[in-house]
Each structure stands twice: as structure tokens, then as C-alpha cells.
Structure 1
């Protein structure tokens, strides 16, 4: 799992402000197909929003942890039913502040 400092998280939150969720997690939870879709989206965009349709906050936190651990990504923000996840690409499009 990648780690970010406070300045980098603030920068990424600002970059994500205009983004729309690219993946939605429904009642089936984090299936293999959903994880593949998240992986492909991270490869294409580096920074993505994920919408979780469940009301269970603990389940959303567990999903964010699993996504970040399994896909070697960094959690940027969890607000309501939206998860913001970042993983640098091989040729990064975003240049993070130090």
C-alpha cells in the first residue's frame, strides 16, 4: 500500500474535485470483476472515485482497505459513500508535491 502525506492528500483531493465515480460497488461487494475494473481504472487514470451503494460504514472502510492493500494503492479520502483512491502510473500524469 502506498502512503501519502497530508500535503499530497490535499493536492489529490483538489485534483479529484471535478471527477465523477468510475466504479460503483453494489450489493455483491468487492467481487473479482469489480477489483479488475478498479485496477484497470487506476492504470488509466491514477486517481479515481468509487461509489459504494451500501449503508454500512464499517463495510466501506473494509472495502477501501482491501482495495488499497490488494492493488497497492493509497487511500486519499473516504467521505460518505465515495472513496478516493490513488496509485501512481509507470509514467505518472500527476506530479505530487513533496
Structure 2
């Protein structure tokens, strides 16, 4: 579980990232979660865009993606979801204590 200070730090790092995945009309599925797991292992911090044609609630989508990928939900703001998971092999982000 991330503290408020750690979430603030991750949000500041994520600000400059571009979204690498999109959730559309199909919603969350196993295929999407598998790709997110692979990407988050390499990058640790990723952004995901929720498209306008997606009818599900953005907060629920964020929770589903975080649980499916075993990651932490950092932020849901507007149409953007930010996820973080500490990498086993490619650790680059140092969280504040």
C-alpha cells in the first residue's frame, strides 16, 4: 500500500509520461491485463487512457486493472489512469519513505 507521500512522488513522475494503453468500448479484458503486466514490469509506472466510448466507470476500470496486473492504483484523473508496480528486474524508481 502506498502512502500519500509516495503517491505524490509517483504522480509527479507520471506527469510527463504519455499513455501507452487505451481502454475502449470492450472494457477490461484478459488480453489487456496481460499486456499491462508486461509493460509495467519494464516501466514500473504507466498511464492508461479511457476512451469516450467506454461506458464503464473510470474508477472501477482503474481498480480492475490494478487488481488484474497486481499493481497499485496511483491516480484516476479525468480519462487518465496511473498504475505503479515495483519491478523485479528493472527497478528505477526510488520511493520516498
User: Which TM-score applies when normalising by structure 1?
Assistant: 0.89
- Structure 2 equivalent of residue 15 of structure 1: 13
Report the Cα distance in structure 1 between the residues aligned to 2:55 and 2:43, rounded to whole angstroms.
Answer: 26
Report the Cα distance in structure 1 between the residues aligned to 2:48 and 2:71, rounded to whole angstroms.
Answer: 13
Matches within 5 A, 1:9-88: 9-54=7-52, 59-88=57-86
> How has the CA–CA distance of structure 1 residues 57 and 31 changed in structure 2, closer, same or farther, with 3 Å as cutoff?
closer
Q: Which blocks of at least 5 consecutive residues in structure 2 are unaligned?
A: none
Q: CA RMSD in A?
A: 1.7
Report the Cα distance in structure 1 between the residues aligned to 2:81 and 2:8, rounded to whole angstroms.
Answer: 15
Q: After alignment, is 32-41 or 5-14 more displaced?
A: 32-41
Report the Cα distance in structure 2 between the residues aligned to 1:55 and 1:28, rounded to whole angstroms.
Answer: 9
- How many residues are aligned here? 96
- Structure 1 equivalent of residue 93 of structure 2: 94
Report the Cα distance in structure 2 between the residues aligned to 1:84 and 1:75, rounded to whole angstroms.
Answer: 6
Q: Which blocks of at least 5 consecutive residues in structure 1 are unaligned?
A: none
User: Which TM-score applies when normalising by structure 2?
Assistant: 0.90
